[in-house]
Structure 1
Amino acid sequence: MDIGFASSYLRSLFLTSLFSFVAPLLLMGSTIAGLSIISYVPWLGRLSQPGFELVWAFLRTFGNGNALEGSLVIGSTCGLVGALFDTYIFYRQNTFRR
């Protein structure tokens, strides 16, 4: 395995892990932000509060009572899964080249 091939694999692995980590954080953050913004509308405030509390409880479940820790656990898990998929694709690409 030459140096250029290894560096492109490591770059791909890093970017895949990074994007897989950031994507669920952005999804959860935008959901919480959207529900918080909707709560300022008078007739939608009563509907957004239970949704906000459900998302917050979901994150606290994965974070042992801390929502920030829960979101980091979910992001880390997704990042690890993304890295595993990238490694699998790297393996399959090398076996098909032969």
Structure 2
Amino acid sequence: MNRLLAGGEPCRAIVIGALGRCGHGAERALHAAGLDPTRWDLIDNLPSLVPLESSTAVSADLLPHLRGLLDATAPWRRCADLFATKTTEELPDD
């Protein structure tokens, strides 16, 4: 089958998204048919500042709340109270 296109050219195949579930299946099917497909995936290996900027922003927003964790300030007290309430409630009979 490798050489059976009109004109005698070898068959070619490309699997886009070869690392995904469907891509793996497509690749196996092409191999079973005697073809060696070209695998292609969009993987961005370029360095990016977006994760750094996001981490910095989240850290800056969270830090004031973390400072109040040991003092049980309002957000942490509400969380602890809600946790205590929910863990002592009886579950409904199903």
TM-score where L is the length of structure 1: 0.31
With a CA cutoff of 8 Å and minimum separation of 6, indicate the structure with the bigger relative contact order. 1
> Which is helix-richer, 1 or 2?
1
TM-score where L is the length of structure 2: 0.32
> Which is strand-richer, 1 or 2?
2
